[in-house]
């Protein structure tokens, strides 16, 4: 397939320096001069032997290459870092988890932009690879589509379902002495029965769905079982479609319209998805040089968007049931009256056209607008004197015993200190546990184990008796208790969280969307004048670069600022 009206950016005059040295390299790889004139497509493979999330990606590449060649393109595989929170969260106080997202983006830029390739197919898996690849697509703005490579099969232990979320929760219950360690060991042996991402509606599956709703994944391709028939169909279709996208010059910024971002926000809200989608989608908007305020969209659209599907950990259904009921395409079909149906997509058709033949196979799993799982939003943004930027609560869909909470603060500067206090009985009913220094700058990279503290509170039997505030982020699998996360500005830049003292009264109200510190303004000014930042962590390597360059959460925490 060729297009005489479309000059490929990867091609150079025959015999020129760039043509000649590339030809020498590619001849050595068996690529003919005729083939080297065709569209050159990067297969972005974030493969790794460290985690089950990525265990199947190398097997996908040959099939994708075959499909690209059959469509008239030349596939060229490139690699990126491949983070999995449950593995790379061990070092650097957890700082590598979010920081690795931006490393994925920059890995892609260095190879794909450096080589001036014509398009990309990104193999999206674990939760940081999805936004990292979307950010690269928005930044480079060359024809791109994502193939979301599916969820892992979970297992059974003692006759009950067990998945990675259950293991995470159980491990923290064991740490505070509420569960036998050997039970945790047994659960860990059965929780994951094959490759793919975490099987609940955590950040990975939420971002897979958001990607399809944005229009950057083919319709009907999320969520799918890893190595299942639907995944392989999406792989083959992507190989054919990306070559056509190159010839038609359909680029990410053509697709990433304000309506597309609103569609993605609605989709995440309708499944009660991960709160981490907020900063990730904002990061994509920032890289696309878009003026879209994703935080504002979540704040505005949440009260207008009912929850139509309750997948673990928000509800009782499994990701397999959601997939069988029609997945993202069926969800969007139910949501269509609230969506921008004219938004363009990688298919070449509008979102509404993509949904014309969509069907809901089980209306109990993916419900219609008039009969939602929950009419009240599952994600709530708060503001107030303690969170003048914002704070985020995963409110979930179960009726809450507590929508208002007021109590004295008990403050910690690390997750280890907070967990030790929970083990020792140092956190009491009625208190508000404050854990700070875990934001994008202070962590850095939001490392710091806020999710561990949440599950430890649950394990200590205090989930309904204390509240928690943190400038850290939560795993997409966290949906327990009253927790205000990602409080902004963060403590490390002297946000109000840094000025809280033990015993100060904190008030949280989900109905008025307020989070306030009940302390005299003059006293706060005295504290601010006396405040000194903690010594920065990490003075070398990638984490130093990240710490010095990361921007605020309101911009998606991307590396766009001049180093401080």
As a three-state string, the secondary structure of 282-296 is HHHHHHCCCCCCHHH
Rounded to whole angstroms, the Cα distance separating 302 from 394 reads: 12
Considering the candidates 10, 221, 475, 507, report the single residue annotated as catalytic: 475
Specify the pLDDT at position 536. 84
- Structural domains in the chain, CATH included, are 36-153+194-352 (no CATH), 379-538 (3.50.30.80)
Rounded to whole angstroms, the Cα distance separating 156 from 505 reads: 44
C-beta separation of 116 from 39 below 8 A: no
Specify the pLDDT at position 447. 78
* Active-site annotation holds for 475: yes
Helix spans in 271-367 (H):
276-287, 294-301, 319-324, 327-335, 351-354
Helix spans in 229-303 (H):
229-248, 252-255, 258-270, 276-287, 294-301
Specify the pLDDT at position 475. 82
Strand order in the sheet with 119-124: 74-79, 40-45, 119-124, 144-148
The secondary structure of residue 123, as a DSSP letter, is E
Specify the pLDDT at position 2. 45
Specify the pLDDT at position 74. 98
Helix (H, G, I), strand (E, B) or coil at 35: helix
**Measuring CA to CA, how many Å separate 330 from each of 302, 337, 367?**
20, 13, 9
Rounded to whole angstroms, the Cα distance separating 394 from 391 reads: 10
- pLDDT block averages, 10 residues each, the chain of length 564: 70 96 95 95 96 97 98 98 91 92 97 98 96 98 98 96 93 91 96 96 96 98 98 98 98 98 98 96 97 97 96 94 98 98 98 97 98 93 97 88 92 94 95 95 86 91 94 81 94 95 97 96 95 90 93 92 56
C-beta separation of 133 from 107 below 8 A: no
Q: Which residue matches tokens 């009491």?
A: 428
Rounded to whole angstroms, the Cα distance separating 164 from 441 reads: 28
C-beta separation of 117 from 193 below 8 A: no
Specify the pLDDT at position 1. 43
Q: State the Cα angle at 474 between 471 and 477, rounded to 5°.
A: 170
């Amino acid at each position: 397939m060729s297009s005489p009206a479309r000059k490929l950016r990867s091609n150079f005059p025959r015999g020129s320096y760039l043509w000649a040295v590339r030809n020498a390299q590619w001849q050595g790889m068996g690529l003919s001069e005729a083939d080297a004139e065709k569209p050159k497509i990067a297969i972005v493979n974030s493969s790794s032997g460290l985690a089950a999330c990525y265990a199947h990606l190398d097997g996908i590449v040959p099939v994708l290459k075959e499909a690209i060649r059959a469509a008239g393109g030349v596939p060229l595989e490139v690699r990126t870092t491949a983070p999995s929170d449950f593995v790379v969260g061990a070092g650097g106080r957890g700082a590598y988890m979010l920081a690795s997202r931006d490393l994925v983006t920059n890995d892609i830029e260095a190879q794909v932009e450096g080589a001036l390739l014509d398009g990309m197919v990104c193999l999206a898996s674990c939760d940081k690879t999805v936004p990292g690849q979307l950010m690269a697509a928005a930044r480079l703005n060359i024809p791109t589509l994502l193939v979301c490579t599916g969820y892992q099969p979970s297992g059974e232990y003692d006759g009950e379902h067990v998945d990675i979320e259950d293991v995470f929760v159980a491990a923290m219950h064991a740490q505070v002495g509420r569960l036998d360690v050997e039970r945790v060991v047994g659960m860990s042996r059965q929780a994951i029965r094959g490759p793919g991402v975490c099987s609940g509606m955590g950040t990975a599956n939420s971002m897979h769905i958001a990607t399809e709703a944005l229009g950057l994944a083919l319709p009907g391709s999320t969520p799918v079982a890893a190595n299942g028939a639907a995944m392989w169909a999406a792989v083959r279709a992507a190989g054919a479609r990306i070559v056509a996208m190159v010839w038609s010059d359909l680029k990410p910024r053509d697709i990433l319209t304000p309506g597309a971002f609103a569609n993605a926000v609605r989709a995440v809200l309708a499944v009660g998805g991960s709160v981490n989608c907020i900063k990730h989608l904002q990061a994509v908007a920032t890289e696309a040089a878009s003026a879209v305020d994703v935080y504002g969209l979540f704040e505005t659209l949440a009260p207008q968007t009912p929850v139509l599907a309750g997948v673990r950990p928000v509800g009782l259904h499994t990701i397999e049931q959601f997939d069988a009921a029609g997945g993202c395409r069926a969800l969007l079909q139910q949501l269509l009256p609230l969506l921008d149906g004219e938004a363009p997509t990688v298919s070449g058709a509008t979102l509404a056209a993509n949904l014309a033949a969509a069907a809901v196979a089980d209306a109990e799993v993916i419900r219609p607008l008039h009969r939602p799982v929950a009419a009240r939003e599952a994600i709530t943004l708060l503001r107030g004197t303690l969170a003048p930027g914002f704070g985020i609560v995963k409110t979930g869909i179960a009726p809450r015993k507590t929508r208002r909470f007021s109590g004295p603060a008990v403050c910690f500067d690390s997750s280890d200190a907070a967990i030790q206090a929970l083990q020792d009985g140092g956190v009491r009913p009625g208190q508000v546990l404050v854990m700070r220094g875990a934001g994008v700058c202070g962590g850095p990279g939001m490392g710091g184990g806020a999710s561990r503290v949440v599950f430890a509170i649950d394990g200590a039997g205090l989930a309904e008796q204390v509240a928690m505030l943190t400038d850290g982020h939560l795993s997409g699998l966290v949906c327990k208790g009253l927790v205000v996360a990602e409080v902004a500005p963060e403590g490390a830049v002297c946000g109000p969280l840094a000025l809280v003292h033990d015993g100060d009264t904190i008030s949280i109200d989900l109905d008025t969307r307020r989070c306030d510190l009940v302390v005299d303004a003059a006293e706060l000014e005295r504290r601010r004048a006396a405040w000194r930042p903690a010594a920065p962590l990490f003075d070398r390597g990638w984490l130093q670069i990240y710490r010095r360059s990361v921007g605020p959460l309101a911009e998606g925490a991307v590396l766009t600022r001049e180093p401080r």
